[in-house]
Amino acid sequence: MKSDVVKKGIEKAPHRALFKAMGYTDEEIERPLIGVVNSKNEIVPGHIHLDKIAEAVKAGIRMAGGTPIEFGAIGVCDGIAMGHIGMKYSLATRELIADSCEAMGLAHSFDGMVFIPNCDKIVPGMLMAAARINVPSIVVSGGPMLSLRHNGKNLDLNSVFEAVGAYKAGKMTEEEVCEYEDTACPGCGSCSGMFTANSMNCLTEVLGLGLPGNGTIPAVYAERIRLAKKAGMKIMELVQKDIKPSDILTPKAFENALAIDMALGCSTNSVLHLPAIANELGIEINLEIINEISSKVPNLCKLAPAGHHHVQDLYAAGGVQAVMKELSKKNLLHLDLITATGSTVGENIEKAAIKDSEVIRSIDNPYSPTGGIAVLKGNLAPDGAVVKRSAVAPEMLVHKGPARVFDSEDAAIDAIYNGKINKGDVVIIRYEGPKGGPGMREMLSPTSAIAGMGLDKHVALITDGRFSGATRGASIGHVSPEAMAGGPVAIVKDGDIISIDIPGGKLDMEIPDSEIQERLKAWKAPEPKITKGYLGRYSKLVSSANKGAVLENK
């Protein structure tokens, strides 16, 4: 066993003494040691209950003959961090989570590991760590929050953000906003739409490191506890068979994940995280690959924010496995890949079926013949930009309008809230990329304000930052190269005509190439917004979004 280096032989008597200081018996020490990484905390609704998930995992490990050893991981609540300096830290914590899990996992020589995340950056951070540590591993999330009906409408966190915009536009009273505030998030779990957390938990299931149901079983269902126990038992089988993340996370597994990403209409943040996870294994996932898969995989689901269904509805309709089964009918998935169940993808989905064709459409009746995410390129984004195509109003799929340029999210929010944005405008928010932000803030406040004011069918937003998975509308993010790296988005001026063609994959400024070159020659990088601490170090090492915002060795 890998853990023999910390427990076997007379030379390890001091090590065993330290185990015994914590109450471990000889019998427990002799068994396989399984690290249980628990991101439970009291600041993230998706994580407040993870102590119960961890206890279930540990029970499963003990039932199957292992010794669970729990330790913690950090997690930022994107919703609470939204719209202020806190959001600069959110994406950056992905690397901290991966690094700290790596440090704990390799320093203590666990035989296997179970990762318990739930929300946005924590899931990909732990997946990156699993790939890096490469001992038998499994991921079990805390599950999605429920969405409850209020006045005939199912609410979620995004409903509250949009209510603020509606209030600013005089369309809601303060009392009505407070009703949303009290109702939209009814309990524990990751926010209830196909936002980033649920996107990544569903894709973990597709990649093969999560058991079927990982992405969709609601947080408060007893089935979630049973899943956690099964994960605890299953890790012992993976240890026995020595099935490691590198055996599961193959290039074909990432192609499967991208295919389901397109079918579900996942968060655009998946386009940041899947390349970053693949990068840990030396696998390249670039925007060209993503665009190729998007062009041939139909969009079968419109979950919030793209539609009115939520993850609980996807669960009831057959879950991720039913979506996989549907894509397999036209040979859009690789079925022979091994997964954390110990069985192949094909074996896992053999009995899956759609139970509600309103939530999961058949492959012969898709919402669109192409995927939920589109990659755009042009003279404004030479290295690419990303939009959640499935959440864009039809009238905004092709749009031209004058640029309204802001050098920070805060300046843009101020203009939006004060009624300074007009129908037809294209709002440009720059210097918010991984390096320029630093940290590539999510921008749910400006996009939800636009939607709440009823402008989402008239106004586009473009940024070198990123958007929340809860964002809807013509919100185009990840513009690369980012402004801080001297990308063309840095030289856009107020009034420049911006041309958006989402079906055609184009994003351009309607100004001559010679003018673009002159402006680029005259451009000078502004002073970094933050130079100290973790973000100061992060900004010096991080790549642009088209590479997954990974830290590069420079």
**CB-based contacts of 5: which residues, under 8 Å, 6+ apart?**
12, 109
Report the distance separating Cα 225 and Cα 158, nearest Å: 27
10 Å CB burial of residue 541 (0-12, 13-18, 19+) is middle
- Active-site residue, 544 included: no
121 annotated ligand binder: yes
Residue 329 among known ligand-binding residues: no
| CA pair distance 518, 511, nearest whole angstrom | 11
| Other CB atoms within 10 Å distance of the CB of residue 243 | 20
Q: Does 244 belong to an annotated binding site?
A: no
Rounded Cα–Cα distance for residues 423 and 401 (Å): 9
- Rounded Cα distance between 275 and 493, Å, is 32
Q: Which of 468, 539, 543, 544 is catalytic?
A: 468
DSSP code of 145? P
What is the spatial distance between Cα 480 and Cα 462, in angstroms, rounded to a whole number?
11
Nearest-angstrom CA–CA distance, 85 and 223: 38
Q: Please write down the HEC assignment for all residues of 378-446.
A: ECCEEEEEEECHHHCCHHHCEEEEEEEEECCHHHHHHHHHCCCCCCCCEEEECCCCCCCCCCCCECHHH
- What is the spatial distance between Cα 390 and Cα 377, in angstroms, rounded to a whole number? 18
Structure tokens, 121: 């950056």
Say how many residues make up the chain. 554
Handedness of CA 268, 53, 134, 21 (dihedral sign): positive
Tell me: is residue 42 an annotated ligand-binding position: no
Q: Which two tokens stand for residue 227?
A: 């899943």
Question: Which amino acids are annotated as binding site, given as ranges?
Answer: 78, 120-121, 442
Which residues are marked as active site?
Answer: 468
Question: Which amino acids are annotated as binding site for Mg(2+), given as ranges?
Answer: 78, 120-121, 442
